[in-house]
Amino acid sequence: MNTETGYISWYNGEGKKGAAGVILDSESAAHKTIEFWTRVKVTSLENGKSTTVKILDRGPYVQGRILDMVKTAFSKIHNTSKGIFRGKIEWNTQS
């Protein structure tokens, strides 16, 4: 199991074509290096809530951020008006 901790934000990617070549849905997210189609568990270190997303895009491109989630996925565990939270991501390496 791989883990990474840092800041997680949301972006308006839903309905747009992601770097994986598909239209991003309500469970999509962007990471700089995790393989496309990998399912990632996202947990807020601020409120303990979690959800699962699929890596279908690349990013985030803001220093210090580890993951961008589409707005719908982000709103499942945090209020979008804040825009960012400290969290942990967990995933298994595909083989």
pLDDT of 17:
97
Q: Give domain 2-91's CATH architecture.
A: Beta Barrel (2.40)
Domains of the chain, residue spans:
2-91
pLDDT tens, per residue, the chain with 95 residues: 999 999 999 999 999 999 999 999 999 999 999 999 999 999 999 999 999 999 999 999 999 999 999 999 999 999 999 899 999 999 998 65
Tell me how far apart the alpha carbons of residues 59 and 68 are, in angstroms, rounded to a whole number: 7
pLDDT of 38:
97
pTM for the full model? 0.94
